[in-house]
Amino acid sequence: DTGVSQDPRHKITKRGQNVTFRCDPISEHNRLYWYRQTLGQGPEFLTYFQNEAQLEKSRLLSDRFSAERPKGSFSTLEIQHTEQGDSAMYLCASSLSLAGVQETQYFGPGTRLLVL
Amino acid sequence: AQSVTQPDIHITVSEGASLELRCNYSYGATPYLFWYVQSPGQGLQLLLKYFSGDTLVQGIKGFEAEFKRSQSSFNLRKPSVHWSDAAEYFCAVEIRGSYIPTFGRGTSLIVHP
């Protein structure tokens, strides 16, 4: 088990372009989370999946953002028509949710996005 | 909604000195409580967590934290800091059953040799 991986690690794009990030969770984990972290702040929750179902979305997740987890394994986060305010670190985390047991989230290294 | 306050943006300590990082939360009931560490350019690593039971929690890398209900606090401590402990530390709280943590803004730890 190599932990949570994210790709790419860094992305520079021009305003208005679309970008897509990928997250590969720990293999047996059924929950997958996306967070955004801006400089000097803690991570802010964006959305999470249980298997392939997207169960919760933050108000931070505008219509330009979409996340998928088509087969309940890896996930993608797409940002359309990027804006400079989208510049941030995008973190993915996964966890194993068992009934009655509080889970621990394991974080990936993040994708740092810079929108010029 | 719950909130988390880490009142110290930066903390500077000498190597070998003791450390305490403060965390206060605002929520009516006892939440789940976490401390994470983040090294530059890296994701977050869980140091320790409190769910219930003993209010003094032991974690990895020699860290411990104490939950004090009366003060709504969950302060992180280490008796002797190493230079490799220099990093960003985040406290997080989670409403039981929500599965969504709220993070503080973090405390940056600087370690002087």
Instruction: Report pLDDT digits (tens) over B58-108.
Output: 999 999 999 999 999 999 999 999 999 999 999 999 988 888 899 999 999
Would an 8 Å CB–CB cutoff place B100 in contact with chain A? yes
- What the block records as the tokens of A58 is 């933050």
> Any chain A CB within 8 A of the CB of B50?
no
Token reading at B71: 């003060």
pLDDT band at A102 (very low <50, low <70, confident <90, very high): low
Closest in B43, B99, B106 to A107, CB measured: B43
| Chain B residue with Cα closest to A55 | B99
- pLDDT tens for each residue of B17-56: 999 999 999 987 888 999 999 998 788 999 999 998 899 9
Average pLDDT over chain A, rounded to whole? 93
Cβ neighbours of B101 in A, within 8 Å: 45, 105
CA B48 to chain centre: 8
Q: Is A4 in CB contact (< 8 Å) with chain B?
A: yes
Closest-CA residue to B92 (of B42, B44, B52) = B44
What are the tokens at A114? 């810079």
pLDDT band for A71, please (50, 70, 90 cuts): confident
Q: How far is B67 from chain A (nearest CA, A)?
A: 18
Element (H, E) at A93: strand A88-95
pLDDT given at position A3 = 92
Q: Which residues in chain B have their CB less than 8 angstroms from residue A101's CB?
A: none
Q: Cβ contacts of residue B46 below 8 Å, gap of 6+?
A: A104, A105, A106, B34, B35, B36, B59, B60
Pick from B42, B90, B100: CB nearest A42: B90
- Residues of chain A with Cβ-Cβ distance to B107 below 8 Å are none
Contact B87, B39 (CB under 8 A): yes
Query: φ, ψ for residue B62 (rounded to 5)?
Result: 80, 10
Is A109 in CB contact (< 8 Å) with chain B?
yes
